[in-house]
Structure formats: structure tokens, C-alpha cells
């Protein structure tokens, strides 16, 4: 009778302990589950960003690190198709701003003409990739790259008006009040135009990605 109704876990195991206890102790696994032998097979991490190599150059790389962002900036030197993430735009922009500021400070603090020449050469060398990454960033927010034209045009117009106003005020040496007043007005107008265009451009460049921007990707 006892043998007929005996439940399995009442039987002692080989080490004289109940079998249910030995199962929970096996390999210190969760709920008694033993860890399978995987041999030399590498276990892929559960979380983490994909490697940089998995992001094609013409597709956005969200959260791109600074070094990779600068690398992609130069590798896409004159590429106006495809898309670019926010980090791909802002890291190179920050690096260029720092370089321009340092060279500008060196030019102002020294009489060495080579520094000013270097600043001019750097600005010209970075003009094309700066426009290219701006167009790709516009594509990433689902805007046509042609929107870069009014942004750049208004910025240039505002800067030109400010320079013209300053020249008008300086060249007359403040001896003609009417011209000086017109020069000041031009400076204010130009500054307002350039500031509004710059702020609008910065807002667009900081806008989150829009999946609909995939329409600007290259067709393979």
C-alpha cells in the first residue's frame, strides 16, 4: 500500500537527501534549473548600443560618440544625400566652434599673419562638409535640404547689413549724424535678421528624428 501511493520526492536521492532539495541546489541555478554547457560559444550582451560599424554612413547614427561623429563628418565630406542624427551634427559643430574660437583668439593676441591665414583656410575647408551635414540633418527631420538656402541666405544678409552699418558709422568718423544713425540702424537690423535665422536653424538641427525622413535615403 505504501509503495502504491508513494510520491516521487519522498524517495531519497543518491546523497541521502530528498530529490526536491538536490534539484534546487543543482549548479546554484535559478529555481533548480541547471546552466547548460555552452562550450566556447560567446554569449551576446543583453543590452547596449550596436557597434558603430553597423550604421551605414548615409543613415542616422543616434547617440553617436564624438570621435565617430567627427569621423563620419569627414567621410561624408560632400555627401548631401542620406540622413544624419543630432549627435552627428552637433559634435562636429562644437569641435569647429572651438577650433575657430582658438584661432580667432590667437589672431587677435598676436601679430602673426599665419594664424589668420590658417583660420581662413580652415573655414573654407569646413564649409562644404558643414553644408552637407546640415542638409542630412534636415532630411532626418523630414525637411528638404533646400531649407538650408533661406537659413544661410538670411544669416549672410544679416551679417552683410551689420558690416555695412559698421562701415558707414566708422568711415565718416561720427562727423555726419544722419549717416551714423543709418549705420546703427543697419547694424541692429542685420543683427536681428542673423539672430532669428540662427535660432531657427539651431531649433531645426536640435529637432528629434522623424522616421518619415527615410524618403531621402539612397535607393539601392
Any domain includes 152: yes
pLDDT digits (tens, 9 = 90+) for 125-168: 999 999 999 999 999 999 999 999 999 999 999 999 998 888 87
Give the end of a domain, one of 108, 124, 140.
Answer: 140
- Residue 135 burial class via C-beta count within 10 angstroms: exposed 0-12, middle 13-18, buried 19 and up: buried
Are 136 and 112 found together in one domain? yes
- pLDDT (0 to 100) of residue 51: 62
Average pLDDT of span 94-114: 83
- Is the residue at 37 inside a domain? no
Average pLDDT over residues 106-129: 82
Query: Dihedrals φ, ψ of 18, to 5°?
Result: -60, 145
Q: 127 and 85 in one domain? A: yes
195 within some domain: yes
How many structural domains is the chain composed of?
A: 3
What is the domain extent for residue 195?
142-209
Q: What percent of the chain has pLDDT over 70?
A: 70
Asked if residue 220 has pLDDT above 60, the reply is no
Q: Could you tell me if 134 and 167 lie in one domain?
A: no
Interatomic CA distance for residues 104 and 127, integer angstroms: 17
Q: What's residue 218's pLDDT?
A: 76
Please write the tens of the pLDDT for every residue from 14-53.
Answer: 455 544 444 444 444 443 444 444 444 444 444 455 566 6
Of 96-100, 109-113, 153-157, where does mean pLDDT reach its minimum?
109-113
The whole-model pTM stands at: 0.70
Does residue 130 share a domain with residue 158? no
Domain membership flag for residue 173: yes
Amino acid at each position: 500500500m505504501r509503495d502504491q501511493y508513494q510520491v516521487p520526492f519522498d524517495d531519497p536521492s543518491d546523497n541521502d537527501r530528498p530529490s526536491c532539495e538536490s534539484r534546487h541546489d543543482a549548479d546554484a541555478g535559478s529555481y533548480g534549473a541547471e546552466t547548460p554547457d555552452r562550450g566556447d560559444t560567446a554569449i551576446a550582451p543583453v543590452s547596449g548600443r550596436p557597434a558603430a560599424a553597423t550604421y551605414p554612413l548615409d543613415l542616422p547614427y543616434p547617440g553617436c560618440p564624438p570621435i565617430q561623429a567627427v569621423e563620419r563628418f569627414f567621410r561624408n565630406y560632400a555627401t548631401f544625400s542620406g540622413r544624419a542624427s543630432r549627435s552627428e551634427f552637433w559634435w562636429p559643430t562644437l569641435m569647429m566652434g572651438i577650433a575657430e574660437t582658438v584661432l580667432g583668439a590667437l589672431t587677435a593676441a598676436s601679430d602673426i599673419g599665419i594664424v589668420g591665414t590658417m583660420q581662413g583656410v580652415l573655414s573654407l575647408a569646413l564649409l562644404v562638409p558643414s553644408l552637407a551635414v546640415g542638409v542630412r540633418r534636415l532630411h532626418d527631420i523630414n525637411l528638404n535640404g533646400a531649407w538650408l538656402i533661406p537659413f544661410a541666405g538670411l544669416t549672410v544678409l544679416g551679417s552683410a547689413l551689420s558690416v555695412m552699418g559698421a562701415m558707414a558709422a566708422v568711415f565718416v568718423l561720427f562727423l555726419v549724424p544722419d549717416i551714423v544713425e543709418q549705420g546703427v540702424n543697419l547694424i541692429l537690423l542685420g543683427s536681428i535678421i542673423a539672430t532669428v535665422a540662427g535660432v531657427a536653424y539651431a531649433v531645426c538641427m536640435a529637432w528629434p528624428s522623424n522616421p518619415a525622413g527615410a524618403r531621402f535615403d539612397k535607393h539601392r
